[in-house]
Amino acid sequence: MAGVLALAAIALMFPGGTSQRGRVVEPSRTVTVTGEGEVRVRPDLAQLTFGVITHGASATEAEALVLASARQIQTALVQAGADDQTVEPSHAAVVTNTYQDYTGVVRIGSFQGRSAVRGTVRTLSKVQASIDAGLAAGATSLESVVYLLENPEPAKESAMKAALENARERASVIVRSDGERLGPLKSMEVLLEEAPPTAGASPGSLLFRAKVKATFEY
């Protein structure tokens, strides 16, 4: 019976919520909003990929020719300014070129050697010279030119910070309209983190985007 009376006394002393030294503390209110942010940065390197195709009377000859051509392209790229630690040929493949003779029999006409040479250019002003050098050295095609950042993490973080700041501004507008003042961040959830696609032959700015859902006290 004494325990029940004690609980009843406590309930009468603090009818409005949690007590701190005899003062009734109102529960905090929250507002949840989404925020979006983006940042544009210039790339600091380019990755080049060249295609190499050769023809030979035998599989051995076709392979030897394509490997020799790949080595020439590799040397030319390094001389033009590509990073020598990144320039390397891919595995060489040999395929047959066939034809059908007048009797309908399929015969091998020649052998085709195929390979690719990839390399990174860290000085963007040397990209065009590297492309010209690769093609002049025997590459039969320029497969791709990809511009990107060596370290994209700072750009991702900047986009995330911009998204959070956008959420804070939106939340502040909402609570000010009710005559209140925005409090600290209570929680945040990342809804989107988008880096630029790794494709394209333009050295223009790279776009990083982020979207968050944030809850603030007020």
Structure tokens at 124: 């963007």
Does one domain contain both 62 and 128? Answer: yes
CATH label of the domain that carries residue 168 = 3.30.110.170
- Residues sharing a CB contact under 8 Å with residue 22, sequence separation 6 or more, in sequence order: none
Give 27 or 86, the one with higher predicted confidence: 86
Of the candidates 30, 5, 62, the residue with the CA atom closest to the CA atom of residue 167: 30
In a domain, 5, yes or no: no
Helix (H) or strand (E) holding 10: helix 2-13
Does one domain contain both 77 and 112? Answer: yes
Domain with 196, as residue range(s), is 28-42+152-217
Q: What is the pLDDT of residues 33-61, one digit of tens each?
A: 999 999 999 999 999 999 999 999 999 99
Angle at 87 between CA 116 and CA 93, to 5 degrees: 25
Q: What is the pLDDT of residues 96-139, one digit of tens each?
A: 888 787 888 888 888 999 999 999 999 999 999 999 999 999 99
In a domain, 1, yes or no: no
Distance CA 144, CA 47 (A): 8
Residue 10 is predicted with a pLDDT of: 29
Cβ-contact 39, 208 below 8 angstroms: yes
Does one domain contain both 110 and 191? Answer: no
C-beta atoms surrounding 212 within 10 Å: 23
Angle at 115 between CA 109 and CA 118, to 5 degrees: 160
In a domain, 2, yes or no: no
Distance CA 14, CA 25 (A): 9
- Residues sharing a CB contact under 8 Å with residue 129, sequence separation 6 or more, in sequence order: 80, 81
CATH label of the domain that carries residue 138 = 3.30.70.2970
pTM for the model: 0.70
Domain end position, chosen among 111, 131, 148: 148
Q: What are phi and psi of 31, to 5 degrees?
A: -135, 135
In a domain, 166, yes or no: yes
Please report, rounded to a whole number, the percentage of residues in the chain having pLDDT higher than 90. Answer: 73
In a domain, 14, yes or no: no
C-beta atoms surrounding 110 within 10 Å: 14
Does one domain contain both 132 and 54? Answer: yes
Q: Look at the chain and report how many structural domains it folds into.
A: 2
Residue 179 C-beta-side C-alpha neighbours within 13 Å: 0
In a domain, 164, yes or no: yes
